[in-house]
Amino acid sequence: MTDTIDPSTTALLVMDYQPSILGFLGDPGPLVDVAETAVKLVRGRGGQVGFVRVAFTDEDYAAFPASSMMGNRVKAARPGMDAGSPTTRIHPRLDAEPEDIVVRKTRVGAFSTTNLHEQLTSAGMTTLVLAGVHTSGVVLTTVREAHDLDYAVVVVADACADPDPEVHDLLVTKIFPKQGRVTNASELPDLFG
């Protein structure tokens, strides 16, 4: 990856920034502040913004096999994980604009149960800048998926959070640098050149 990235082929993905997931953090306010700043920057530089949320319909719940650990967790969280619940909406300070990509997923990663890859490739996106909650969930899985799909990957470490800070630190310092670049939101303006 070069030192700077082209905003015209870059998408910021803001993943699982919704009350049902942010609620696992002590105080999500500072994290939302960082994501809001990143969204404004990427929009201002002409990049694409995408929002990924996790939420389930009755059909989605029914599709989980009885052996699914994830299925059992999300079923136990009903109605807070229902697709129509306010707790699964994108955080209000990060509301999507008409030109943004918005997908609803039913698994951990951003790609496997959505048409996100098709929307990104149709828009000419080759670099993904990732912000998400939980670092050990959606961010880890999406880094792996994006890498396998040949995107250049940038993880904004301070726009990601995990209920276990040690796991977050391990991922952003040891694992993610093997498949992309790790930066902080304060460095994003320079990254766009």
Let me know how long the chain is: 193
Q: Can you give the pTM of this predicted structure?
A: 0.96
Listed in sequence order, the DSSP H helices in 45-111 are 58-63, 69-76
What distance in Å separates the CA atoms of residue 146 and residue 180, rounded to the nearest whole number?
10
Domain that holds residue 159: 7-191
Contact 49, 101 (CB under 8 A): yes
Closest CA to 99 of 85, 115, 119: 119
Residue 61 belongs to a domain: yes
Residue 97 belongs to a domain: yes
Instruction: Identify the pLDDT of residue 2.
Output: 52
Per-residue pLDDT of the chain (193 residues; tens, 9 = 90+): 458 999 999 999 999 999 999 999 889 999 999 999 999 999 999 999 999 999 999 999 999 999 999 999 999 999 999 999 999 999 999 989 999 999 999 999 999 999 999 999 999 999 999 999 999 999 999 999 999 999 999 999 999 999 999 999 999 999 999 999 999 999 999 998 7
Residue 1 belongs to a domain: no
Residue 2 belongs to a domain: no
Listed in sequence order, the DSSP H helices in 45-173 are 58-63, 69-76, 116-122, 140-148, 165-170
What distance in Å separates the CA atoms of residue 17 and residue 171, rounded to the nearest whole number?
19
Residue 30 belongs to a domain: yes
Question: How many domains does the chain contain in total?
Answer: 1
Q: Which residues contact 33 (CB under 8 A, 6 or more apart)?
A: none
